[in-house]
Amino acid sequence: MLRAMIVDDEAPARSELRFLLEQTGKMGSISEAASVRSAIEMLMENRVDVVFLDISMPGASGIQLAEALHKLKNPPAVVFVTAYSDHAVEAFDVDAVDYLLKPVEEARLDQAIGKVLARVKPVTESKAPIERIPVEKGGRKVLIPVDQIRYIMAKDDYSCIFTEDDRYLSTTSLAQFESKLGDFGFFRVHRRYIVNLACVEDVETAATGAIQLGVTGVDDRIPVSRRRVVPLKKALNL
């Protein structure tokens, strides 16, 4: 499974590409950045296998980010995703794996992912396990074992981590948690929720047609967005 990052200043474009990537079943986690600057900040904290990168963005361009990544000892693969074909030569000068034109076709995306898999060794195979997550609680640092986390919810500028018997606030974003915990059976079921799949005990279809999850030791039902239903069922072998 690959760890991916989408870098695009347009939210609808990020959402559409995320949906297509999730349908492939080859993504362990997908993080998003709306600018080169935010992408660099996220990459400093979490490595990824592949960056799906727009070219024309306010501020620094995708080409500039790719040039910087290309200088790293172990750079992620870069796949450009753009509405313009006139940057192809520049793209391959920075050793891009592929160059996709918007709107992205599923067949071409599959080809690009195949090229990525042929080039990189997913970081999930070599990364040291994360066993505990540090959070602040009552003025002290608390280390929560990953297997005790039931789900994580985005709340204002924080992430709220739920265990069976407690709740913790963290300034780590949901996207960062998604990247860190993707190898440990955590799945983003909604823009506001990440769930520990090992703790899912039932999947319910409400009268409205919406899918909700029952989680061990938790009273609240966890909503699943329509775009996450198919990949979630694959992850749960349903």
Distance of alpha carbon 72 from the chain centroid: 22
Specify the pLDDT at position 140. Answer: 81
Specify the pLDDT at position 129. Answer: 57
Specify the pLDDT at position 1. Answer: 81
Neighbours of 191 (CB within 10 A): 14
Neighbours of 100 (CB within 10 A): 17
Q: Is the pLDDT of residue 165 over 90?
A: no
Asked if 28 and 122 touch (Cβ cutoff 8 Å), the reply is yes
Specify the pLDDT at position 71. Answer: 82
Between CA 122 and CA 145 the distance in angstroms is 24
Asked if 45 and 19 touch (Cβ cutoff 8 Å), the reply is no
pLDDT tens-digit series, residues 21-77: 988 888 888 999 999 999 998 888 888 999 999 998 888 888 899 888 888 878 899
pLDDT tens-digit series, residues 175-228: 888 888 887 889 999 989 999 999 999 998 887 888 899 998 888 899 999 888
Between CA 142 and CA 47 the distance in angstroms is 24
Residue type, 17: L
Q: Is the pLDDT of residue 15 over 80?
A: yes
Specify the pLDDT at position 92. Answer: 72
pLDDT tens-digit series, residues 85-142: 776 667 677 788 999 999 999 999 999 999 999 888 654 444 445 688 888 777 788 8
Between CA 89 and CA 226 the distance in angstroms is 38
| SS3 labels along the chain | CEEEEEECCCHHHHHHHHHHHHHHCCEEEEEEECCHHHHHHHHHHCCCCEEEECCCCCCCCHHHHHHHHHCCCCCCEEEEEECCCCCHHHHHHCCCCEEEECCCCHHHHHHHHHHHHHHCCCHHHCCCCCCEEEEEECCEEEEEEHHHEEEEEEECCEEEEEECCCEEEECCCHHHHHHHHHHHCEEEEECCEEEEHHHEEEEEECCCCCEEEEECCCCCCEEECHHHHHHHHHHCCC
This prediction has a pTM of: 0.58
Specify the pLDDT at position 133. Answer: 86
Specify the pLDDT at position 132. Answer: 85
Mean pLDDT of all residues belonging to the chain = 86
